[in-house]
Chain A
């Protein structure tokens, strides 16, 4: 990746982040808006790290939120039961997520990639059952709650920084040699292997990077909500990540990140239409796959480049 490209990305992300930080004074510390945007940013991180797997490596993770739910539950368990030094708590939560990533991912990486999709589809359902079945430990349907430790503003700034760091790191990874190898694996695994790429190792690397940011976002989610419940392992939650990623357009990081943020805010404002909201999302998803396989982000960028090319040639 050239230095210039990197610095442009840096500038864009920094500008966006400053814009997000300005939300706090502009909204006059309106807790509702701050929390709404923080939630959207966390979703953006989930979807962007999902895109590293699905869009760049060709690993369709149908249960991205396993990587967020495991550390969120571990941190919640420690926070509610013990009184540990907080960074250690977070570290334990984070390492539990990485162990979770390895446990889920290692067996399914060796076989064809749609098995990966199916295994990651099954895993959260099992975790959902387990968290629901031990109310004494996991709080059952109501989950684990803890009175907020940090003020909303602190959480908000932490979320904005995580968003910025995640986007920049993912962008750097994607534009580096590693990113090229990942895309080669996505296009043709056999060819990649035949030129001496250790496919398994690179896939594992992609999963670890993606899992890192998702788990950090998951831990932040717990501190932001003060609460975690089995719905994080629910089908709807993981489905939303895939919907947002597909709608945003796989394989360009920014599209998924922003569609994640924007759609989660839209979702919040669509609350009044109640149960029709989910149906709308299902239909939107099917329509995007059938009509715009590149997603809205991809459609916009190809339209833009077409227009640009026309101007250039005439």
Chain B
């Protein structure tokens, strides 16, 4: 059983961190607590489903088109809605929540409540007697690669330094000559690409229904709080903690309490370490 938990966990961490990284980037750097996060991921998945499954475009073209759509949508959401409310955290939360709700209703109207998926056939792998879905391994690997690349970008490059400066203190960054709105738009685009990628990977693994966006949001939110908003390395660590606690609960008690386990961790973090495991109290300022 320990072997199962370890391996199943390992193939999920990458995907979980990719799902959460868009949320934590927006929350930490653009100060946009995006309640529509899960629904945006879901609409990326549905767009890919339409392009690949219904219109029969080649995979890469469909993916690029879907990414373009999602990036446009996120930019419109920021410029048209949340940027106007930037002085009120609650306004941002509420308006993105309303937008997410509207997206969900549009998905229900267009596709109906039926589950969709894009089955990808990859031979399942066998490690030490534990069989793992091949697509999950691929998804997790992609997730790891993207998130680590993102972490390196933030830590090493000049753009990354500008982004971190904006996250730390936007006014000081502006004084030292960083174009804040440009940095924010860049981060929005990066986050949108991460969201669409995670949407594509999920729709290849699971079947999705129009309700599936909200659990994605809660998972990302719990991981982001645990990691500390805006911390990319923390996201991987937090994703690992959440994945293993969920798997442990599912194996030892019952899969019903999977979400509840993550929730208990969230509450514990809020009580004992509100800035997250690797957070630097960026949001507190």
Contacts and interface: CB of A to CB of B under 8 A. Distances in A.
Interface string A175-204: 000000000000000000000000000000
B267 interface: yes
Given A117-B93, A125-B214, A282-B98, A108 B108 contact: no
B94 A242 contact: yes
B271 A117 contact: no
Given A107-B267, A114-B33, A293 B215 contact: no
Interface stretch (A4-12, A158-166, A254-262, A271-279): A271-279
Interface in A42-91: 58, 60, 62
Which interface class (under 10, 10 to 19, 20 to 34, 35 or more) fits B? 35 or more
Given A125-B259, A290-B81, A282 B274 contact: no
A62 B93 CA distance: 10
A246 B94 contact: yes
Contacts of A123: 263
A289 B95 contact: yes
Interface stretch (A28-36, A126-134, A147-155): A126-134
Given A276-B109, A282-B98, A290-B84, A126 B270 contact: no
Identify whether the interface residues of A are mostly helix, strand, loop, or mixed. helix
Contacts of A60: 90, 93-94
Given A108-B270, A125-B214, A282-B101, A275 B91 contact: no
B105 A275 contact: yes
Contacts of A18: none
Which interface class (under 10, 10 to 19, 20 to 34, 35 or more) fits A? 35 or more
Interface in B201-229: 211, 214-215, 218, 221-222, 225
Interface string A231-260: 000010001001100100000000000000
Given A123-B263, A125-B259, A290-B95, 12 more contacts: A107-B267, A107-B270, A115-B225, A117-B90, A117-B93, A121-B218, A130-B256, A133-B254, A276-B109, A285-B101, A286-B81, A286-B102
Q: For the complex of A and B, list the 8 residue pairs with the smallest distance between their C-beta atoms, beginning with the closest.
A: A282-B102, A279-B105, A133-B256, A285-B98, A286-B98, A282-B101, A107-B267, A111-B274
12 contacts: A107-B267, A114-B90, A114-B93, A118-B221, A118-B225, A119-B266, A125-B215, A125-B218, A130-B256, A281-B101, A283-B98, A290-B85
Interface of B: 33, 35, 81, 84-85, 89-91, 93-95, 97-99, 101-102, 105-106, 108-109, 211, 214-215, 218, 221-222, 225, 254, 256-257, 259-260, 263, 266-267, 270-271, 274, 283-284
